[in-house]
Structure 1
Amino acid sequence: MNITQPSFALPAELRDFAEKSVEQARAAFTAVLHNTRKATESVQAQTRTAELPANVAYMRSLDLLEQNLAATFDLTQKLVRANSLQDALQLQSDYVRTQFAALQNQSKELVSATQPVKTA
């Protein structure tokens, strides 16, 4: 029995449109994060709260959010270019594995950032 795989190829126009859409979404999210960071820094400067553990953790969480969004957009761009369902599934599997490890490390980092500094 010979089972053929369905075609996964997208027309070039659709692939180009998808790639441009991903880039536009990436640019929009980057702009939102940039504006959020600037607004937060402005408020912290005015209230002199930048060094409080919660504020340090908040600013670090923005950095981590930016890293996670970049990884997601990178995956999306790769998926748009995937030539087969098997390639797409492998990309997704690799992404889940690396993001799970990254999220574990990030959560540990944020928990430690919110802990008060212990002095001996």
Structure 2
Amino acid sequence: MNENGRGFEIPKEVRSMAEAGFEQARRTFEKFLASAQETAGTLEERGATVRAGAKDIGARVMTYAEKNVQASLDYAQSLVHAKDLPEVMRLHGEFVQAQLRALAEQASEMGQVVSKAALDAAKPKT
């Protein structure tokens, strides 16, 4: 307990760092979603072959969104159970690193899916 008789409080600096990490991850993911949706919209205009690729892109975007939301919820739950400031800092670092890795993997996978869809759309009809 602190001098005010309340339990553990996260210092302003730590809270600011956590918020900055959340905001960075949120901005990165929003850019990723916008790009994927724009690409899917563009591809959908090219016909039946492309619709299949766009459908795959849409499904992947939803899967990524679900995974990222679940990771955020798991992180928030782990913070609730943190015993002290060092544990909060450790949890935050682990979360940010895991999210950055996940976003990089998702962007790479999405790039491959979009490239394949674009190549399929560009193939001459026989």
TM-score range, shorter chain: 0.5 to 0.7
Partner Cα separation in structure 2 for residue 66 and residue 50 of structure 1: 24
Match of 2:113 in 1: 113
Q: CA RMSD in A?
A: 2.6
Between the two proteins, the alignment pairs up a number of residues equal to: 76
Question: What is the distance in 2 between the residues matched to 1:60 and 1:51?
Answer: 14
Amino acid at match of 2:80: V
Alignment of 1:71-110 (within 5 A): 71-110=71-110
Q: Deviations over 1:21-77 (max 9, x none)?
A: xxxxxxxxxxxxxxxxxxxxxxxxxxx889522221111110011011111000000
The one-letter amino acid of 1:67's match is K
TM-score relative to the length of structure 2: 0.52
Divergent runs of 4+, >4 A: 48-51
Any unmatched runs of 5+ in structure 1? 1-5, 10-47
Structure 2 gap ranges (5+): 1-5, 10-47
Compared CA separation, residues 117 and 87, structure 1 to 2 (3 A):
same
- Name the CA distance, whole Å, in 2 between partners of 1:86 and 1:92: 10
Distance 1:72 1:114 in 2: 26
TM-score normalized by the length of structure 1: 0.55
Percentage of matched positions with identical amino acids: 26
